[in-house]
Amino acid sequence: MGLIAGVDSSTQSTKVVLHDEDDFAVVGRGAAAHPPTFPPVSEQDPEKWWTALGQALSAALADAEAAPTDVRAISVAAQCHGLVALDGSGAVVRPAKLWNDTTSAPQMSRLLERMPAVEWARRTGSVPTAAFTVSKLAWLREREPESFARTVTVLLPHDWLTFRLTGKTVTDRSEASGTGYFDATRNSYDHELLRLVDPDMDWEPMLPTVLGPSIAAGTVSNAAAGALGLRRDTVVGPGAGDQHAGALGLGARPGDVVYVLGTSGVVFTSSATATHDPSGTVDGVADAAGGYLPLVSTLNAAKVTDTFAHLLGVDHDEFARLALAAEPAGTPILAAFLDGERKPDLPAATGTLTGLTTATTREQVARAAVDGVLFGLLRGATALSEAGADTTGRVIVTGGASRSPAYRQLLADGTGAMVHVSTSVEAVADGAALQAAACLGGDDVRAVRDARAAPLVPDAAPRSSGAVAELFPRYLAAAAWRGGDRP
């Protein structure tokens, strides 16, 4: 039995899904945890990702009752933006700074003073924040000059895992477009932006080669074959960012609006044309299928409702029941900036719960937590439309928190549209597997996506829009307080 492996290396864990090469049925799954992080400092040792990949692959193979040599192709999707710095021997210089590490906010502010936001948007499609790799490079140069001086290769998390699999320093358009120094419309790095970090550095040899969405990175190296038991001729795909692979796994088409409820919250749509939002709200990044994936990403999603469930002393099922049972009238409003915020760019913000009275119920507090996450994303969806993206397609929800009926129903209420869910259990890993299958067969990844992505099914229909019409404007007013402090 030939197998296709898709890898999802997120902030929290690595997941591996194995598909049958012929009918693409899921035959095995495995997972392994990563060390927890606690923003504003969010760092991980990349070796932990490699160890987790091996553990998750072994678990998936055991689940499939298969051998490593059955794997014909593999591809890695991973958390975006992080910085993995390598020295001349290919060793990691220091722990990777992750996307949700906001300690580089001062450096990013200074870069934006030197190059106006409108120019960043024009050149790269996005106005970078502390999440972007360019800010972390500036932080490394300023705060750890010795580590910066040792750095000869700059990779992102999925690039590094692909490097460990193949020995090659490559990336793809989706990940490169989230660095803050790549123009996806020209498919080229912008060295003038990197010279803002260090004008004397020879950046060209430090950057990975950018591959097309259906171009294999190569085959498994001798070292990786020995470590994982894979065959040397196992094809390795170029990889992708997690949201970008998720779009493949969901089978999202242009115009579909996808809400991702994971560690972070993301709303995106697939587009054939690029967006350039000078306000910085919309990141005009590339997708993993040759087009674009304009998106808005927030720092606070599932962890918000995890926190409030803990405060209320209930499990997730009871929390969802409480939120759905709440009386909308008089419900408090949560500006859910618990770990700072990314969009809007407020790295030092905290959460604000407003509108509490002696009549406030536990049910209303639970609903406020869910609404606080969703309203931030609904504001993002409005920004997508204002940036020129088509948002007239299906509404799709995915991510760990999408398993909550409260999130699905309140999203339907908020959008006024039927909410669809995928029959895929792990859309990001499935998207990586679709890419690997395309590389193995020499096919266009879009054709493989259209033929093999798991189907979408309607799940939650919108109820009366009256509650949202009253609550959402109150949210916008509360969010303008920036988590407790007026702008």
**CA angle at 368 for the pair 268 and 316, rounded to the nearest 5°:** 80
Which residues fall within 8 angstroms of residue 345, CB to CB, at 6 or more apart?
129, 130, 280
Q: Which of the residue ranges 37-51, 104-118, 249-263, 470-484 would you say has the lowest mean pLDDT?
A: 470-484
108 pLDDT higher than 70: yes
Q: Which of the residue ranges 98-107, 242-251, 283-292, 474-483 would you say has the lowest mean pLDDT?
A: 474-483
Instruction: List the structure tokens of 20.
Output: 């049958």
CA 426 – CA 393 distance, rounded (Å): 22
Number of Cβ within a 10 Å radius of residue 110 = 13
Give the pLDDT score at 354.
96
Q: What is the per-residue pLDDT across 304-343, written as a single tens digit (0 to 9) for each?
A: 999 999 999 999 999 999 999 999 999 999 999 998 888 8
- pLDDT, average across residues 138-158: 98
> Beta strand pairing status for 170-172 and 209-211?
parallel
- pLDDT, average across residues 364-369: 98
User: Does 485 or 144 have the greater pLDDT score?
Assistant: 144
Q: Tell me how long the chain is.
A: 487
Candidates 226, 274, 250, 282; CA nearest to 393 is 250
Look up residue 41 and give its DSSP letter.
B
Which residues fall within 8 angstroms of residue 417, CB to CB, at 6 or more apart?
394, 395, 462
**Confidence label for 484 from pLDDT (cuts 50, 70 and 90):** very low
Q: Secondary structure of 304-320 in the HEC alphabet?
A: HHHHHHHHHCCCHHHHH
Give the pLDDT score at 64.
98
> Beta strand pairing status for 182-183 and 188-189?
antiparallel
**Confidence label for 483 from pLDDT (cuts 50, 70 and 90):** very low
Candidates 76, 70, 77, 59; CA nearest to 21 is 70
Catalytic residue among 172, 183, 190, 242: 242
Asked if the domains 3-238 and 251-422+455-487 are classified in one and the same CATH topology, the answer is yes
Give the pLDDT score at 117.
95
CA 215 – CA 166 distance, rounded (Å): 14
- What are the sequence ranges of the domains in the chain? 3-238, 251-422+455-487
Give the pLDDT score at 72.
98
Q: Which of the residue ranges 6-15, 60-69, 256-265, 403-412 would you say has the lowest mean pLDDT?
A: 256-265
Whether the upstream peptide bond of residue 68 has omega within 30° of 0, thus cis, is no
Query: Is 277 labeled as catalytic in the residue annotation?
Result: no
Query: Percentage of the chain surpassing pLDDT 90?
Result: 92
Which residues fall within 8 angstroms of residue 32, CB to CB, at 6 or more apart?
13, 14, 51, 52, 53, 55, 56, 59
State the average pLDDT for the chain: 95
137 pLDDT higher than 70: yes
411 pLDDT higher than 80: yes
The one-letter code for the residue type at 424 is S
Tell me the three state secondary structure of residue 483: coil
Q: Which of the residue ranges 309-318, 345-354, 418-427 would you say has the lowest mean pLDDT?
A: 345-354
Q: Which CATH class is domain 3-238?
A: alpha beta
Q: What is the per-residue pLDDT across 278-304, written as a single tens digit (0 to 9) for each?
A: 999 999 999 999 999 999 999 899 999
Q: Determine contact, residues 398/246, Cβ cutoff 8 Å.
A: yes
Query: In this structure, what is the dihedral angle of CA atoms 252, 122, 296, 115, given to the nearest 10 degrees?
Result: 150
Give the pLDDT score at 481.
64
As its CATH architecture, domain 251-422+455-487 has 2-Layer Sandwich (3.30)
142 pLDDT higher than 60: yes
CA 164 – CA 377 distance, rounded (Å): 35
456 pLDDT higher than 90: yes
**CA angle at 391 for the pair 385 and 392, rounded to the nearest 5°:** 130
Find the DSSP H helices in 187-301: 191-197, 222-228, 242-250
H/E stretch holding 211:
strand 209-211
